[in-house]
Structure 1
Amino acid sequence: MFNGIYHNFRNEDNLADAFFAKAIKAGKGNTQKSDLAFAHLEYSRFLTKKNRLKEAYENLSMYTKLTDELYNDEKIKKATVAGFNLELDEYKRQIDKVENEKVEQYHSLKKSKIIVILFVLISLILLFLIITLIKNIRLKKKHNLELLKAKEIAEEASLLKTQFISTISHELRTPLYGVVGITNMLLDEHKELSRSEHLSALKFSARYLLSLVNDILQINKIEENKVVLENLTFNISDEIIVIKNSLSFLSQKNNNKINIDIDDKIPEYLIGDKLRLAQILMNLVSNALKFTKNGEVDIVVKLDRIDGKFYFLDFLIKDNGVGIAAVDQNKIFEKFVQVGRKDEDYQGTGLGLSIVKRLLGLFGSTISVESDLGKGTAFSFKVPFEHDPQKTKKIIEEIEVDLTSNEIYKILIVEDNLINQLVTKKIIEKNNYICSVVDDGFGALKILETEEFDLILMDINMPLMNGFETTKRIRLLGIKTPIVALTAFDKDEITDEAISSGINDIIVKPFEPVKLFKILNYLINEAKNVG
């Protein structure tokens, strides 16, 4: 084709024509249509130049046809490529979508694994908690059963202890009543024996043994919260003087002197539980006297402060006795503890100071101790008492008056113990009362069928039929004679049953004769006034 162009340029027409024809022929066997189309175009130009217009038109037409074909082929090719690209893009999108889904599935699977792991862990924790809870419930149930069993054992032990203490105290008080009563009878009937050291020692020993029994009962009551403070009017000087006089034998035994110092600022009458206060002072002073020889014991009461109607009194019990070692000062308030003592020197159960501490707890107070070995001991505490003149007057007016009479009353004694019969009868007849004695409840019912009495003294613990049952049967007969329980049982133990059976009052043996006759006179006169 280029040779044809060359010869055409040199006007060598024959050679040009030959080369163009040869190029077209060669181009028809070639797949490159663009070369053939270009050959037809140059040949058409050559023919136009030679004025061979028809042939020129035919070659130009071929050029146009081949060009169209090339354009169409190019379009198809581009379309194919575009379609392929579109398909490829779609594939890519699908692949991306699959990859995204795969990633999402991976993350989802990862989350699922985490959730599964967490679920398994939570399940294990819950299982562990459930197992622990079940174990705890079982242990708690077992523990509760053990506690319940221990509580039952403790309650049973407490009940047995209370019953034991009650029984022992009753069995001790009964013979003590006889000992104290017969001692008093001997002193009354034989005045020459009033100065007998042996008889005085016997009386003191009996009363001392009785105080020990009362100490044991007292500490048991406090521990069982059965002690309630009472409001009584009293004079602090009188109470302390009574304590001093009652301990005179003990002070003389060790050649001790008791000094009393009471603040003048303290009112004449105070209101409070004088009995508990007396018990506290009695224990402290008697304790000081025991551990002091040829010395002095001081009882000092000072007014600490006034708060409204309440006067706070500061008590000091001081001695110059053997003293207490510092290491032992915290032990002395424990039950059954006595420190720095020899068995042959001192007596006691070791309950005194323990009772003092617990009684002061009822007053809302505490006790302190200062002591040096060989120099002495000082106990101090503060207790508030009320001062109210109007209230004091009212309390005094309500106190039962000891009624006296010249009349001779008939008293029935129901008692199974022969010694106690003798003691009680002697006390009653000494005051010009007529006295009859029966051994048991059946004897009481029999004598009441034929005789009338002004008052009945009823023992509680009797064979065949006890005092409660006897009293019930007497009341069922319509007999309204006052009945007083004369018993060795503690009053608090039998009060409810005594009231329900029809008993009017209770006197615990051993007793002071003055107290007995005060109650007798009051009940007899009240019964006559009602009648």
Structure 2
Amino acid sequence: MAFSSFAQDSVPVKDIAPYFDEARKLRNQNKIALAMEQLDKAAKEAEKNEDVKALIDSYHELAILYLKLDKEGDTQFYWDRASVLLKDIAYPYGDAVHKYIEAILLYRSEQNYQSLFMLNEAKQLNNDRNFINNILLAEANVYLSLEKYDSAAKNLNSLVVNTDVYESSYLSTKAYLGLAELNYITENYSESAKNAEYALELANNNRFPKEVQQSNQLLSDVYEKLGLYDKALANTKNLKSINDSIFNIEKLKTEAKTAVKTLDDFKTEEIKRLEKKNEELTESQNRSELTAILTSAFLIIITLLAGSLYRNNQIKLKTNDLLQTKNKELQIARDGAVQAMEAKTNFLSTVSHELRTPLYAVTGLTHLLLEENPEEHQMEHLKALKFSGDYLLNFINDILHINKIDANKLEPLNMEFNLKKVLNEVIDSLNQSAKANNTIISLEYDQDIPSHLMSDPLKLSQVFMNLIGNAIKFTKNGEVTVIVKLRNKIDENTTLYFEVKDNGIGISKEKQQSIFEGFEQGSIQINREYGGTGLGLTIVKSLLGLFESKIQLKSNLGEGSSFFFEIEMKSLDDMMDDDVSYETAQRDYDFKGLHLLIVEDNKINQVITKKMLTKKEITSDIASNGEEAVTLAKENVYDAILMDIHMPGISGEEATIEIRKFDRQTPIIALTAISLDDSLESFYAAGCNDVVTKPFKPEIFYQKIGENIFDKKVKDTAS
């Protein structure tokens, strides 16, 4: 089973993070002694800084390192230390890794089903991509033990093409080794040899000595089965050379000594702490005699008060009975409210999902008709149809977005970004709408704000898109001002003040309390005159809740409105390039001559997608279901596959898994009317390279095809 340190969702203090990064790299290269030194430094630094979370992470990494040395007893020692600390702190990431280690220990003791259960528990606590990838690898090993080869193959195939930021090569190597072992067990020796050769090449290129050893061992066995004795002998010689090397023997001795020394040092410190505690207890015993005398005096007083306390207790018992009754009533009411909320969420999610498929036909056909040079009198009707389709799509997306927040499906990211650049990009995208209303957008930006911050730029963009867009809609011949100020900065903790104000129509006092509720716009007259769904401010309120912030409002009718809030972020040193953009640059691609496979069960959608490809001189074949898609992919060569996910028979996910068994190179783009319950992770795990939600904008559709065909080829050539 593979072990790894993960990209923590809340990295400890800044000067400890490099120790974890270096330890991960050294462990994957099997330099255990050096990795242990790094983690020992991290643990001491965490203790010095009194950083409990960092200390928990250090214990977990040491536990995983001892697993690498097959020292389960020492692993249990550090796991127990982490258990004690986790009892007194809320730390979801630490709980997730704790369950991950427990799952590995269960797997090693052949408690496979308990191990799978614990891995699933860990997965629910943290959704970091690196962490999920390592869980997929651990699950694959358990599935192999349980002889669930299809499940193991699904996990391993997804890791072969992983996009992990930290351990892409290591995870791919372990995945190829797992596939080779699976093929060997199922007597598919030629496929086993191919996967083992891939693993050996990656292991050699990245200096993974343990994986080099495992690959050679496997190849020796496989080639012997295939009757290729020369190759088997060559791998056997490689293996013997590795096993007999003086370096390897000395390295193992050093690792063993370092492991023992690290554990002994820790146990020595524990003994010292216990001795100190014993001395304190001895001193306390000397004071016990005086305490006994004082206790006798207190007993007399307590006896006098006993009668009074008895009466008070009777009153408390009656009060408690009443409180329990009320609590049960409140619990029943709460459960009913939760069920109603779940029913609403599921209903809106289902409706939103089902509307997307016919809406794809509306927006797709409208786009095609507009590009076919319609008559002037037809143009007006087509533009009205396009506006209505876009409006309905935005409305559905807003409902789905609010549902995701209510159902706790969204979590804020934590990444480096340039705030001023994000705001300028939002303002630039809304300038056209402002010009239509003869309105100016201005930005007042405090120059003392650090240029590089840590937060979620994408969700902040959504907040300002809604606030500024709202201000523009209700302001004609006026001005919208975006204000950003530095409230305070203590070390890297930075509090920022944001405000979006306008001199538009304003909001009445009686409507200011309800304006943030769904479908509220002040009045029916305002809705008729200005349009919209009334969901924009609801989304803003929900998104700011993810940042533990609250939107506030000042407004007077006829004088404009001001929306303001504060957010706390982390600031960084000037390490990031200011030119980094958080939006994908649009590129023009030459699609002429490409040949794609369209997998779609809806006949109208087949026609629309094929015509959209024909517009770009792209030829295509059509598969009406998953089985047909697998057959065509085997018999033909395609530049890319557009895969519908929800189909009768085998789904798009299952078809992708089957295709990846014989074709790992062809880009597969999932086209789906995605719902609240759909998991993007499962699409990528199945082997999809990208996901486009239906109905999509044509420019995004073409952009995704270009990125996954042309940009992928450039990347593969460069590597």
Q: Distance in 1 between matches of 2:648 and 2:381?
A: 35
Q: Distance in 2 between matches of 1:307 and 1:361?
A: 23
Where 1:493 maps in the other structure, the secondary structure is: coil
**1:474-519 Cα distance to aligned partner (Å, 9 max, x none):** 34x5343442211111477222442454434322222423641354
Counterparts of 1:447-458 in structure 2, within 5 Å, are 447-458=632-643
Q: Distance in 1 between matches of 2:385 and 2:507?
A: 31
Aligned equivalent of 2:31: none
Say if 2:679 is the partner of 1:494. Answer: yes
CA contact (8 A) 1:215 1:355 kept: yes
CA contact (8 A) 1:325 1:373 kept: yes
Q: Distance in 2 between matches of 1:463 and 1:192?
A: 40
Q: Percent identity?
A: 40
Distance 1:336 1:163, change over 3 A: same
Q: Distance in 1 between matches of 2:584 and 2:507?
A: 45
Say if 2:592 is the partner of 1:410. Answer: no
CA contact (8 A) 1:323 1:373 kept: yes
Q: Distance in 2 between matches of 1:431 and 1:389?
A: 46
User: Which one of the candidate residues 517, 523, 527 is aligned to 1:334?
Assistant: 517
Say if 2:457 is the partner of 1:300. Answer: no
CA contact (8 A) 1:482 1:523 kept: no
Counterparts of 1:77-476 in structure 2, within 5 Å, are 156-190=339-373, 199-247=382-430, 250-251=433-434, 255-263=437-445, 265=447, 266=449, 270-309=453-492, 311-342=494-525, 343-388=527-572, 392-393=576-577, 409-431=594-616, 433-475=618-660
Distance 1:484 1:394, change over 3 A: farther
Deviation at 1:326, TM superposition (A): 1.7
Aligned equivalent of 1:75: none
Distance 1:393 1:289, change over 3 A: closer
Unmatched runs of 5 consecutive residues or more in structure 2: 1-306
Q: Distance in 1 between matches of 2:608 and 2:417?
A: 32
Question: Which protein has greater RCO, CA pairs closer than 8 Å, 6+ apart?
Answer: 1
Where 2:476 maps in the other structure, the secondary structure is: coil
Deviation at 1:278, TM superposition (A): 1.5
Unmatched runs of 5 consecutive residues or more in structure 1: 1-120
CA contact (8 A) 1:459 1:467 kept: yes
CA contact (8 A) 1:311 1:384 kept: yes
Say if 2:692 is the partner of 1:507. Answer: yes
Amino acid at match of 1:360: L
Q: Distance in 2 between matches of 1:205 and 1:317?
A: 28
CA contact (8 A) 1:169 1:489 kept: no
Where 1:225 maps in the other structure, the secondary structure is: coil
Amino acid at match of 1:293: K
Deviation at 1:528, TM superposition (A): 5.9
Deviation at 1:238, TM superposition (A): 4.5
Count of aligned pairs:
405
Of the two, which has the highest radius of gyration? 1
Distance 1:289 1:411, change over 3 A: same
CA contact (8 A) 1:329 1:369 kept: yes
Amino acid at match of 2:670: A
Task: Give the superposed CA RMSD.
Answer: 4.5
**1:102-155 Cα distance to aligned partner (Å, 9 max, x none):** xxxxxxxxxxxxxxxxxxx9xxx9xx99x979x959x969976x7887676555
> Which stretch shifts more, 443-452 or 238-247?
238-247
**1:437-490 Cα distance to aligned partner (Å, 9 max, x none):** 222223313322421223221112223443223334434x53434422111114
> Which stretch shifts more, 353-362 or 171-180?
171-180
**1:240-276 Cα distance to aligned partner (Å, 9 max, x none):** 44434544564455x3413222426155554432221
Counterparts of 1:64-79 in structure 2, within 5 Å, are none
**1:69-95 Cα distance to aligned partner (Å, 9 max, x none):** xxxxxxxxxxxxxxxxxxxxxxxxxxx
Amino acid at match of 2:576: T
Deviation at 1:408, TM superposition (A): 5.0
**TM-score, normalization by structure 2:** 0.48
CA contact (8 A) 1:178 1:423 kept: yes
CA contact (8 A) 1:454 1:524 kept: no
Aligned equivalent of 1:14: none
